[in-house]
Amino acid sequence: MSVKFAPATMHGSQAGMKKDLKFVPSLPQNLATAGHSIKGGTKFVPTQALGLWVRDEYKFVPSVFGIIDRSAENFKKSYTLDWWTENALFYYNSLLVSAYYGMDIWDFREHYKIPPKKDGFLFVADSGGWQIASQQVKIDPVEILRWQEYNADVGMLLDVPPVEPGTYVSYVDFEKFKKCAAIAKRNYEIVHSRRRSEDLELLKPIHGGSPQEIDYFWDEVKDLEFEGVAFSPKPPVPMGIALQLAYGYDKGLDIVHLFTGTGLNTVPVVVYAQKMFKRLTFDSSSFSVQGARYRSYCNPFYLSCGITFGKSYQSTLEKLPCDCPVCRLATIDDLNSEGSLAGGLIALHNLWITLKYIEHLSVLSRSYTDYINFLNVYSRDEETIKAINFLQHTWDNDFDSALREYGISDREDARNLFE
């Protein structure tokens, strides 16, 4: 005998799991008319009504790697492959673009119909420093600045990340590290003297994998005042992230951006640190790279366990295991199709799952006990727990006390801790 669960119908709404039934949500009055029209009079309600709101203290900023070129494509003749226009499958209120790639289109914001800051949207423009380190390209800091001033709300100053070429590993040679700091200082001085816009927030990148390295970089550029700081832990591991964030907290910083990914074991560290700053943002293109390039589809309940679509698809699934806005409309055949549409859909699905994970962590992070209990079951990573405890120790005491407690006294201690 086949038994199926039949949910009770509540007054004023309809609910069901069959495709021919529509769920009609009851919205608070102040949200019932919010959002952007998609089609046929239907109103799309932004993240607050969908439960994907992000607290003011921090914000995940998705990098548009690979997505921006597909944003004009349509899915089912109605939806665009982005998260910021009125015809998007869902709405999210920030993005990051590297100026190195975006500068080919001078009016980038208008061209891609990115909402203005007054509508609550945050457009972050990276400088292209990573391309200098990884591709040995030459970039003019003033040219980058002018593009940022015309398009962005937040801009990163042009730096040269002190990493071994083609890797995420910091230089072992401290003299090479110091040379990168000197180049960054020169670029920061140029921007400091040439900036025109008071509307653009500028953040100066600070590098270092140990207290001594961070101190050196900080001392080189501390007299050049900007609106905030951007940290770039290399490699982006839990304790490396915690060390830089605790350092920033110790310096009394208000606005901080973190160049890091959305790893299962690193995001909890960043989210937990939200209470330490007025605004803490972080970015990643992992959702897009995995989806658009590799057709890797995040499982809704576990980010690190993916399903590969496209030519490598070997599953016998009969339907997609998700009810996000993408998967409510897309089919397995859609995600297995040739061309860029499939990759764009998977990338958007991955973004939704990432946002839900971040939102869940944000709620739990208000209770240390519940947060740690969740992570002990979900990620089971001792280094993540250690990094969170390092931040908590800094919060309860101070940065120097945390360094002593965790035995970090020099560059070698820090490197051993991150391996």
Tokens found for residue 283: 């970015």
Long-range contacts of 212-220 (CB under 8 A, 24+ apart): 212/410, 212/411, 213/170, 213/174, 213/177, 213/411, 213/414, 214/243, 214/244, 214/247, 216/177, 216/178, 216/181, 217/177, 217/181, 217/184, 218/247, 218/251, 220/181, 220/182, 220/184, 220/185
Residue among 390, 39, 11 at smallest CA distance from 211: 390
Regions of the chain where pLDDT drops below 70? 1-58, 65-73, 132-136, 166-172, 410-419
Confidence (pTM): 0.83
Residue whose token pair is 């509307």: 199
Quote the pLDDT of residue 202. Answer: 98
Q: Rounded to an integer, what is the distance from CA 208 to the centroid of its chain?
A: 21
Q: Rounded to an integer, what is the distance from CA 265 to the centroid of its chain?
A: 14
The Cα–Cα gap between 370 and 375 comes to: 9
The Cα–Cα gap between 382 and 307 comes to: 26
> What are the helix and strand counts (H, E) for the chain?
17, 14
The Cα–Cα gap between 168 and 259 comes to: 12
Beta bridge partners, 44, equal 36
Tokens found for residue 79: 């939806």
Measure the N-to-C terminal CA separation of the chain; round to a whole number of Å: 55
In the chain, the domains with their CATH numbers are 53-418 (3.20.20.105)
* Amino acid code (one letter) for 237: V
Asked if residues 154 and 313 have their Cβ atoms less than 8 Å apart, the reply is: no
Quote the pLDDT of residue 210. Answer: 86
Tokens found for residue 251: 């310096």
Quote the pLDDT of residue 48. Answer: 40
Interior/surface letters 92-130, b for 16+ CB within 10 angstroms, e for the rest: bbbbbbbbbbbbeeeebbeebebbeeeeebbbbbbbbbb
Quote the pLDDT of residue 306. Answer: 82
